[in-house]
Amino acid sequence: MLGKRLRKYMPALVAGSLGILLTINAGVASAGIGVLRPGAGNNPPKTPDWNVKNQEGGSGAVTTKDGKSVQKLDKSKKTTVTMLSVMLGESLSSVKVSASGDFELVDGNGGKVLRKMPANVSAEVKISGGAVYLNGEKLASRIITLRTGKGQQVVYNGSSYRGQLRLVYDGSGIQVLNIVSLEDYAKGVLPSEMSPSWQPEALKAQAVAARTFALYNKGKGHTASSGYDLCSSSHCQVYSGTAAETTTTNQAVDETYGQIMQYNNQPIYAAFHASSGGATENSEDVWGNYLPYLRSVTDDDSKSPYHNWTSKFTVVQVEKKLASAGKEVGNLKSIALVPISSSGSVTGRSASGRAYGVKFIGTNGEITLTGEQARRIFGLKSAMFNVRTERSVQVPAKGKKKVTASDGKTIDAKPAAMNDGIMKLQGVDNVVFEGHGFGHGLGMAQYGANAMAAAGSSYDVILHHYYTNVIIQEIY
């Protein structure tokens, strides 16, 4: 099945042969390569919707009746803006909150007024002996809502937010939730997800993606026990409130007001990432599950600073990283991986050229990682990579074919010829991953989106490029 799939793009990186294998004797300590954050959707959707495979959304679904690619809502059907609950803090024993204008603390989600407070004066909510105290006074309620006047902002932990704050005692601590409109949430998210100086149409595409991602998660429960929609960290989308807002990003949100991407009349799981490496990925090749709108497409990744990257490890570092991931192989003897190439079989590579199976062979056995597993274990920027070896030995004198390895043994200067997809090497000191792109590769690639915008594409064209057969729908 995999072999039949056509690759739409192959970075012009490698050449030649089918596999490499390296054999090693190396030493030396460790170095950490941190996993940087590439965009939203690093965790597969909480509620699987894989069963949409055979439903509508075929070609033509993107064309609306009036020929426009954004479906506007009838004015008669306009409804109110969707509200979200976003967690700003949890498991807290005490919390101070305030607002830029006079504010009220009310019982529950909108009950009687417990306290009226002037602007910029903090109210303190504490848990003691299993009870909730507001400014030292014991309450019967476990939920307090802070609301302020129109145009004012609520304040928690030094940051300002639109909407309301809701403090919930869940039995173990206080949750601080921001009850905020989808539009205001998008404004607080966008500057953290894409640079405000980027192309306006790319920012608009990101605004629709951010809004869609949030709506997908609404009502599903962040975790089984939590009563909110989203957290404010990179686990979901980084949400920083009003301090983060900029003119350009707010404009991108306003100009796409109420618009989300739908498939089968449902908000899609709008995964996105920083840089594709030249082609995005099919969902099943990252998560093992098919999503009809997350298909591999090519893009212009040439302007991305992550278009080419290298990560180098000693053999000992590789052994340690495998072991700490529960994938111990003993002393590493070889690695096998089908390289990215421009022709031939695609076995071992996904539709976009990302690695499927990277085999590590050691004295205690062998394990095969998916490209995605390797990405996480080694902190690689993407799963679109090749592996090569690097010898810390002198280049041989002219005409000589032997060199001295770091362990003093004399070895061939060049790797042995490839045999059945496996190349045996000796005396290798370093394992070098050379790759393209940054992130899981699903959905919109931000650098590619910016390149499309710079070349004149509007945000709807950009979204339709990266999200297959979706409809951009105005929902309120």
- Give the nearest distance from C-beta 42 to Zn ion in angstroms: 10
Residue nearer to Zn ion on the CB measure, 166 or 222 = 222
Query: Rounded distance, CA 412 to CA 425, Å?
Result: 8
Least separation, in Å, of the C-beta of 45 and Zn ion?
Answer: 12
Of 220 and 235, which CB lies nearer to Zn ion in the complex structure?
235
Is the Cβ–Cβ distance between 272 and 280 less than 8 Å? no
Give min distance, CB of 83 to Zn ion, in A.
17
Shortest spacing between CB 222 and Zn ion, in angstroms: 6
Closer residue to Zn ion in complex, CB, 235/402:
235
| Amino acid found at 306 | Y
Nearer to Zn ion, 234 or 308 (CB): 234
CA atoms within 13 A on the CB side of 87: 23
Smallest separation (angstroms) from Zn ion to the CB of 203: 23
Nearer to Zn ion, 182 or 231 (CB): 231
Residues 6+ apart with CB under 8 A from 259: 70, 208, 211, 472, 473, 474, 475
Task: In angstroms, give the least distance from the CB of 308 to Zn ion.
Answer: 31
Residue 342's Cβ-count burial label (10 Å; 0-12, 13-18, 19+) is middle
CB 231, min distance to Zn ion, A: 3
Residue among 38 and 415 whose Cβ is closer to Zn ion: 38
In whole angstroms, give the CA distance from residue 375 to residue 350: 14
The answer to whether 13 and 340 have CB atoms below 8 angstroms apart is yes
CA distance 462 to 446: 10
Alpha helices in 245-350 (DSSP H): 247-255, 315-324
Choice between 22 and 236, CB closer to Zn ion: 236
Q: Distance between CA atoms of 250 and 248, rounded to whole angstroms?
A: 6
Backbone angles phi and psi of 405, in degrees to 5: -80, 175
The smaller minimum CB distance to Zn ion, of residues 87 and 167, is found at 87
Strands of the sheet with 266-267, listed across from one edge: 70-71, 471-474, 259-263, 266-267
Shortest distance in whole angstroms from residue 189 CB to Zn ion: 12
Task: Tell me the C-alpha distance between 399 and 334, whole Å.
Answer: 28
The binding site for Zn ion (CB under 5 A) comprises 231, 235-236
Least distance between Zn ion and beta carbon 143 (Å): 21
CA dist 142 → 78, 174, 357 (Å)? 35, 9, 51
Closest to Zn ion by CB, 231 or 274: 231
Query: Toward Zn ion, which CB reaches closer, 43 or 419?
Result: 43
Rounded to whole angstroms, what are the CA distances from 9 to 122, 124, 243, 341, 453? 57, 57, 41, 10, 21
Smallest separation (angstroms) from Zn ion to the CB of 463: 23
CB nearer Zn ion, residue 236 or residue 384: 236
**Exposed/middle/buried for 43, CB within 10 Å: 0-12, 13-18, 19+?**
exposed
CB of 471 to Zn ion, least distance (A): 26
CA atoms within 13 A on the CB side of 191: 16
Return the number of other C-beta atoms located less than 10 Å from residue 94's C-beta. 12
